[in-house]
Chain A
């Protein structure tokens, strides 16, 4: 009396092919179209955040010649951070790549609830619009820092206390609704709508990364939602959840007894899993890029899966490592430092396995491979600086300095970005049927890779010097040598350089879409299901009349005894074949 899986009653599914332009491209319920809508919107938001980062950098690098006020500076920092983390990375990885890859890689015709999936995008768009509106309201967007700590976030003295903060919280709440609608889809699809033969342990790591990240999102965003609601109430009707008795600009407020630390705990109970929400999909995607272009199975697949799960679970019990110096009960430091450093172990396993995948491989340095290798470098760097901060005592001198800024840009501001570019170049042929231009892509890679290192490495040292983060200007400090100003100028110049490099990326994308070489269905000779679709780009319903059937794991590259160097997942096991995936 078990429930019959979709794969066994495929004939019952009725896909209503859209017939008008509107239903095909605008109100589309096709996961591939939604993915591109999500991705396009996220990238557009990312470009805004990139522009903001340049304005900030100009101020820090050239404080005497460049002209923005601290008011604007803090607004830019805040919007830059929030957009990059939530509206670019989370949306692009999960809404974009999650949407595109999950059904294809699992062998499904679409997400399980296409209508809700469509709504998810439109609600996300609303969230983006609300956020953008805050640039135009009186007082402008909030300047509370992306962590939005109260009481400061809702008191005079911070930009955007009138409308900015309200719109920010509102936008986040709407985003969470959108994410939940999408996320339920991704999780349910992975769990319940795989094709025949597709066990969880045969899924490509991309799906695993996105899947676990989505679960993290579903469990972590609630804390942010609640914190946002409570702060909205504090802001709008003067409740005192986070507000003790205090003075604001010399006037005593009517609030009493609330706890600012509570917000920080709720925020980071969300916030730490959030950083893995943007890291785990990157881990997954990069594994597939490495394996495909190394023509070699990913090393230690099972350990990779368990490491993802372990990181995901641990990420809920390390949150207070962002709060070592927040004034919380200091005894918590022992617990959180220990759990935080323990995360290094599963993460280390992942790093080792990526490198071991290269080892004795047959490395083709196609575009995606360049980015993937670059990722290993930047991620190791950023992860290791994370260990500095995680080790509670070391965090004492370094917290709230540019060392932290260096850490999280290395680990989040470039590593996942590298994966994203690699992944876009990798799946571009599937999405469009055209190859991306290799020369342009290579230039883009070198400029971005070297440029970002030149941005972020010096940040660490500026931080070690003691330069605090979120400082509009440094003025004179007796312990920061004047040479630090040179470092800051250098960083700014590098940032401009990298920003210019992104233009090449957009040129490449549009040019290749229009004039690129035809790619054929499987230009990288990859094993996973999305490359085995009958059409490229895949049509609505993905698989034509018959759902695929999977016979092996996703990494049968260079199988001994086989003539080619890859065997797609849907190829039956040949008698006597030595595949482990069997």
Chain B
């Protein structure tokens, strides 16, 4: 029947939407875990958007002055005032970790266990650095008197939204670091080489999806929290 032809259909061709959705057995030609991760990320997108919408609405509706992020998050390095510099560095760290993650996926599929695992560990390390810098940022803000419940620079929601959103993002990063560790360990120890797993390294891609998503969210936080 028609369904047998699906694989043949050109995947970039628009008709493939129809063939895929009208296929039997499965709709997406991807492993279960990957399909599930995508759907989860979709759900997570709604979470982060709701956070950002909440923050944005509060920011627009409050009549109090909103602090200028580029001043609040400035650092003085070698005597020069550098607005947002730490955030810029954090952004670069996270992007770099995304790059190493992408390579880990690649080596995973090639069956290069050592490289895949070490790249994952590097990714995790970058992630940890990111969280560390975030912690520094928090400490600095707290020292300056910003709290979730008060803010000497203006609108109260500034501190609250900042701690909540970066905190939730930071939790995602931390969870990702742990997730990376677990999978990297399994890659090294040959867990996926067992007969019933058949040397299948799609798990690395799945971790990767999650990790890139965390990076993705940061892009939006950067734009809407720091640059606005």
Contact = CB atoms under 8 A, between A and B. Distances in A.
Question: Do A's and B's CB atoms come within 8 Å in the complex?
Answer: yes
Nearest to B25: A5
B43 A219 contact: yes
Interface string B20-36: 01111111111110011
Given A199-B3, A241-B160, A262-B58, A222 B36 contact: no
A550 interface: yes
Interface in A202-244: 202, 218-223, 225-227, 229-230, 233, 237-241
Contacts of A6: 25-26, 32
A314 interface: no
Interface string A365-389: 0000000000000000000000000
B43 A222 contact: yes
A476 interface: no
B50 interface: yes
A188 B43 contact: no
B27 A192 contact: yes
Interface stretch (B85-93, B149-157, B175-183): B149-157
A226 B31 CA distance: 30
Contacts of A3: 26, 29-31
Interface in B61-102: 61-64
Given A223-B50, A226-B50, A255 B43 contact: no
A480 interface: no
B129 interface: no
Given A3-B30, A8-B25, A191-B27, A219 B42 contact: yes
Contacts of A218: 39, 42-43, 46
A222 B32 contact: no
A2 B23 CA distance: 13
Contacts of B61: 257, 259, 262
A257 B64 contact: yes
B196 interface: yes
A240 B160 contact: yes
A258 B161 CA distance: 11
Residue from A6, A180, A194, A239 having most chain B Cβ neighbours under 10 A: A239
B22 A257 contact: no
Given A222-B50, A230-B164, A241-B54, A195 B40 contact: no
A524 interface: no
A192 B26 contact: yes
A194 B22 contact: no
Nearest to A7: B25
Contact of B156 (A195, A200, A257): A257
Contacts of B21: 200
B24 A197 contact: yes
Interface in B150-176: 150, 155-157, 160-161, 164, 168
SS class of chain A's interface: helix, strand, loop or mixed?
helix
Interface string A182-203: 0011011001111111111110
B40 to A, nearest CB: 6
Contacts of A577: none
Contacts of B53: 266
Nearest to A225: B47
A239 B148 contact: yes
B149 to A, nearest CB: 4
A219 B39 CA distance: 10
A289 interface: no
B57 interface: yes
B148 A222 contact: no
A113 B148 contact: no
A499 interface: no
A574 interface: no
A257 B155 contact: yes
Given A5-B26, A192-B26, A14 B196 contact: yes
B27 A240 contact: no
Interface string A69-102: 0000000000000000000000000000000000
Given A222-B47, A230-B164, A254-B149, A262 B31 contact: no
Interface residues of A, number: 55
B160 A180 contact: no
A218 B47 CA distance: 10
A112 interface: yes
A241 B149 CA distance: 10
A188 B157 contact: no
A196 B148 contact: no
Given A226-B50, A238-B149, A258 B22 contact: no
B7 interface: yes
A503 to B, nearest CB: 40
Given A187-B39, A233-B160, A199 B22 contact: yes
A257 B62 contact: yes
Contacts of B26: 3, 5-7, 191-194
Contacts of A393: none
A240 B157 CA distance: 6
Given A239-B160, A254-B149, A184 B32 contact: no
Interface string A239-264: 11100000000000011111100100
Given A5-B26, A14-B196, A192 B47 contact: no
Contact of A233 (B22, B47, B155, B164): B164
Contacts of A199: 3, 22-24
B29 A2 contact: yes
B35 A256 contact: no
Residue from A3, A195, A229, A265 having most chain B Cβ neighbours under 10 A: A3
B6 A2 contact: yes
A219 B156 CA distance: 29
Contacts of B30: 3, 192
A550 B63 CA distance: 63
Given A240-B149, A258-B62, 18 more contacts: A2-B7, A12-B196, A180-B40, A184-B36, A188-B35, A188-B36, A194-B24, A200-B22, A222-B43, A226-B50, A230-B164, A233-B160, A233-B164, A240-B160, A241-B157, A255-B156, A257-B63, A265-B57
Closest 7 CB pairs of A and B: A257-B62, A5-B25, A222-B46, A226-B50, A239-B160, A222-B47, A238-B149
27 contacts: A2-B7, A7-B24, A113-B36, A184-B36, A184-B39, A187-B36, A187-B39, A192-B28, A193-B26, A193-B32, A194-B26, A196-B25, A218-B43, A219-B42, A221-B43, A222-B49, A227-B54, A229-B164, A237-B149, A239-B148, A239-B157, A239-B160, A240-B156, A241-B160, A254-B149, A258-B157, A262-B57
